[in-house]
Structures are given as structure tokens and as C-alpha cells.
Structure 1
Amino acid sequence: MTVTPRNVGETVRVTGVLRDQIIGGERAPGARLVEREIATALGVSRVPVREALRVLLAEGLVLARPHSWMTVRQFTERDIEELFQVRAAFDSLAFALAAREAGPDALARLALVLSAESDASAKAGASRAASASFHDLVIEISGNSLLAELWRTLSGRMRWLLGQHDHPIEMHEEHARLYAAIAAGDEKAAAALAMSHLETSRRAFEARIGSRSPTPEQKTRRHSRRSDAVKGNAEAT
């Protein structure tokens, strides 16, 4: 099929929609991504959907199954720990470099993103997007092209990790402190605040996951029901 500007535009749009749905939890981990169903829902042909899924596969947000459809990636505990480790390395370097390199124009752009994040803090999806934009811009301001290249490779997974934070106002306040350190040209403070910010994100993530985990009482009841079912099946045979 000949690639046209319309094809490219539709692929970009579909990719953005699916990425936002995955990061926002609208498409749950393990959910099937059926080209025909997505194409119908978004009013496009299957071609841009197929291309969008390939992009998301490269970003690490979906998984391909042989001779089957793709599914939304279910991140394991090991995956998440590795993401936090890599983000720690990225953030400490990026924010320190941004504090060193940021000039008036860069600071003005960062202030605009920070203001947009504040305005969006009451809307979960918009707040996540604004927060991700803040981090993207810090990477750009750092002036390290290799860091930016590596970040683009991991941006989908990093955006997913950022999207797990359920407290947008708290995140915005921490971003404001990071902005102040960058504006002051304080590399050490920027790096230290980045690590503190990451720890806040980790605690928020663990609390979110913990709230979904069954309590000991729920586990006991589930085990009891399974035991009763097994016993009933045994008696029936």
C-alpha cells in the first residue's frame, strides 16, 4: 500500500489514542488488541491500527503473540523495578544537566508546561500528559542528544510509569520545586530533588498496587471457597 500523508496522520492519531488508553488503564493489562475492533471504534481502516500497534510494540507497551492478536503488556514486579532503576539514572542526570544548561528561553518554556500541568491537575488524563511533557522537556533542555535518543526509545514505558501516580497536585508541587532548582542553576539540588520525586512516585505506585491486592481476610475466604469447591467435586466423583 502506498504511504500517504493521510495514512501517516491516521497512524499517529491511532497510536496516540491507544497509548493514552493503555497508560490511563482504559485498556487493562492483558487485554486483547484486535485490529478490526479498534479500527471500527476509531473510524479508520486496519492499516493505521496495524502500524500503531507496531509502534506500541517497539515502545514496550504491548506484546505480540505468535499467530494471534497483540495484548496490552502486563508489567511484572521485575519489569517495574527495572523501570524505576533506569528512571533514577535518567532523572538524576537529566535534571542536573538541565540546571546547568537552561537559559531564559528554556526556562520560559518549562514554566509554560508547569502552568499547563497546574491547570490540568483536576483532570487525570490531562494531568498525566502535562506531567510527561514536563519530563520530556527537561530531557530536551539537558542538551544531551544521546540521553534524548535513549529516552525516546523508553518513553512509552516511562510514560506508563509516570501515569501510575494518582496524586497530580502533589506531583505538580514537586515539579515546581524541581523547576526552581533548575532556574537557580543548582545541579546538586536538582538531582537530589529528582531522586526525592522518584521516591514519591514509587510510594504512590506501591500504595496503588497495594490497594488492589486482596486483604488477608479476602485471601482466607477465597482459599476456603476453593477448598470447598475441590471437596464438593471429590464427593461428586
Structure 2
Amino acid sequence: MTNALRDDIMLGRRLPGARLIERDIAAELGVSRLPVREAIKALVGEGLAVKTPRTWAVVREFTIKDIRDFAEFREAIETLAWVLAAQRHDDHGAALMRATFARESRAVESGDIAGAQAASAQFHTMAVGLSGNDVLQELAESYVTRLRWLFGQFEEVVRMVDDHRVILDAFLARDVDALRELIPGHLAEGRDAAERRLRARTERSG
């Protein structure tokens, strides 16, 4: 249930500001209200929904400040994660990263934007996993949903895969100096794309 509602938000089937009313969603999906209640609670915890003074929650309306705050946090976490992963990965880790990039590339070639976005998000979270740092992994688990949302705002998947190819080469070469430059610049592109998408949506609704 949580996955279904999360995907509805990620894919734009439930728009920012939309009410998440237990009774209505339960009737819509043909389930009891309890799993819907738990799903909404989980989405509030993930930052995708916001509780209201009434008896329902609403899909969160991200602001420019939200995007910039997340970008600042993410730059610090992911730059460190990529540096550590480059230093510490073994042959198995290198193979996993190559496979993830290959999956992203195939999705781009076939025009599967959603698949490319999902593989791109995994490309980044995998670096955290390969960092060998448990605290970084715990922090990453707290923002993975927002990361998926951010990648959903970036539709220039050809440019994204080109950036990832350069990052992968630096990772495999254990070139930490290059990664310290590449990662902040790459993340800034994602932040800017999310800001443009949000401004365009605001202008259309206004």
C-alpha cells in the first residue's frame, strides 16, 4: 500500500496539495482503512505528505527552499560517499556499479525515461552502500524517497547518463580528486532542473 501511494506521488498521479483521505483511498483501492492509514503515516515520515489540522494529510508541495536545503545536505553526504566508495570498493562493487550504469544506459537508449530515472537514483545510492560507512548508509535511507522525487524532476536523461559515465570512470580509477569536483557539479544540475520544473508548475497553476 505504501509503495502504491508513493508511486502515485512520484509519477504525478496524486499532485502536490492533493488530499490523502483514508476513507476515499480505501474505497478507491478496495481495501480497509488501516493499511491506508499506515501508508499515509509512512509517507508523512518520508516527507512526501504533510499532516493537516483536519483528519487528512496532503501531498507535500515542495518549495525552492526545500530543494536547496536538500541539495546542500546531499552534496555533503554524497561527495563523501563517492570518495569513500572509490577508495574502498572491491571487484564485486565495481561490477555492481558497472551493471547499474549499463541498466541506466539501456533505459536511455530505449526511451524509457522512468526506468532511466530509477537506475540513476540507484547509481547514487549504490555509492553510499559501497562507502563502507554505516552512518552514511543510515542517513541515505532517510532521504532515498526525496532522492527518487528529485530524479523524477530531471528528464534530460541523455545528459544524466553522460555525466554518470564520467563519474563511473573516476570511481573505477579511484580518482578521488576528480570525484570531489564532479559530484557537486553533477548534483547542482539536478537541483537546477528541479527548480525549473517547480517554477514551471507554479506558473501553470497560477
Normalising by structure 2, report the TM-score: 0.90
Q: Tell which deviates more after alignment, 133-142 or 32-41.
A: 32-41
CA distance in 2, matches of 1:200, 1:167: 10
1:183 Cα deviation (Å)? 0.5
1:52 Cα deviation (Å)? 1.4
CA distance in 1, matches of 2:113, 2:28: 22
- Tell whether the 8 Å contact from 2:170 to 2:178 is kept in structure 1 after alignment: yes
Which of 78, 85, 93 is residue 106 of structure 1 equivalent to? 93
- Tell whether the 8 Å contact from 1:98 to 1:143 is kept in structure 2 after alignment: yes
Distance 1:74 1:188, change over 3 A: same
Distance 1:207 1:190, change over 3 A: same
Q: How does 1:184-223 map to 2 (within 5 A)?
A: 184-212=173-201, 214=203
- Tell whether the 8 Å contact from 2:101 to 2:165 is kept in structure 1 after alignment: yes
Greater Rg over alpha carbons, structure: 1
1:117 Cα deviation (Å)? 1.2
1:213 Cα deviation (Å)? 5.3
Distance 1:38 1:195, change over 3 A: same
- Tell whether the 8 Å contact from 2:9 to 2:59 is kept in structure 1 after alignment: yes
1:214 Cα deviation (Å)? 4.1
Unaligned 5+ residue runs, structure 2?
none
CA distance in 1, matches of 2:118, 2:35: 23
Unaligned 5+ residue runs, structure 1?
1-13, 220-237
CA distance in 2, matches of 1:112, 1:27: 32
1:235 corresponds to: none
2:31 corresponds to: 44
1:89 Cα deviation (Å)? 0.7
1:233 corresponds to: none
Which digits, 9 at most, give the CA deviation of each residue in 1:123-143, with x for residues without a partner?
232222211111111110011
1:17 corresponds to: 4
1:71 Cα deviation (Å)? 0.6
Quote the RMSD (CA, aligned, Å): 1.9
Which of 127, 130, 143 is residue 132 of structure 2 equivalent to? 143
The percentage of aligned residue pairs carrying the same residue is: 40
CA distance in 1, matches of 2:100, 2:31: 32
